[in-house]
Amino acid sequence: MTNQDDYSLVTLNAQLASVASQLINQLQQESDTFTIGSVRDGQKELAEPIDDSPAKTWLILKIDQPIGVASIEQGEIGLAILNKEQGQGIGQMVIQALISWAQQVGLAYLWLDVQEQNAPAIHIYQKLGFEFTGASQQLTLPNQRQVVILRMELPLK
């Protein structure tokens, strides 16, 4: 069982930029998460209006060691955790913290995209109240792998 006291979220700042960069490089080697976001964002036909809603990025620490990153920007949740740390309940703890922060700053809703085959993540998001919007998108990644992403939302107000 995960000891919640071993984990913390630290706001990403200039002093942590080097650590975050190294972690993101490692996460990119383990997962297509960042590539999927880039490909998805590159396929948008019309630029979405930039809103001025609160945004924040955190490092996820396990006893002072960075193991992941989390963010909220324009209501979108981003989350990436090192493979060796997955399956221990960390993602659920982090998402709960992000929901709490979003409520504190007055966001109306949160949303995220999840890969269709990522059943563990989908289960966690549904458990926390996220629902499918019916929107999906098939993407071809630079490595030619095909993925389908599904949109989920959580109303906060």
Reported as a single tens digit per residue, the pLDDT across 30-62 is 888 777 777 777 765 544 555 667 899 999 999
For residue 60, the cross-strand partners are 9, 68
Tokens of 26: 């490692």
Residue 51 confidence (pLDDT) = 65
- Tokens describing residue 44: 């948008």
The whole-model pTM stands at 0.86
User: Which pLDDT value is given to residue 46?
Assistant: 45
pLDDT of residue 43: 62
Q: Is 108 exposed, middle or buried (0-12, 13-18, 19+ CB in 10 A)?
A: exposed
- Cα(82)–Cα(132) distance, integer angstroms: 26
Q: What is the pLDDT of residue 28?
A: 86
Note the pLDDT of residue 123: 95
- Residue 39: the pLDDT is 78
Low-confidence stretches of the chain (pLDDT < 50) are 46-47
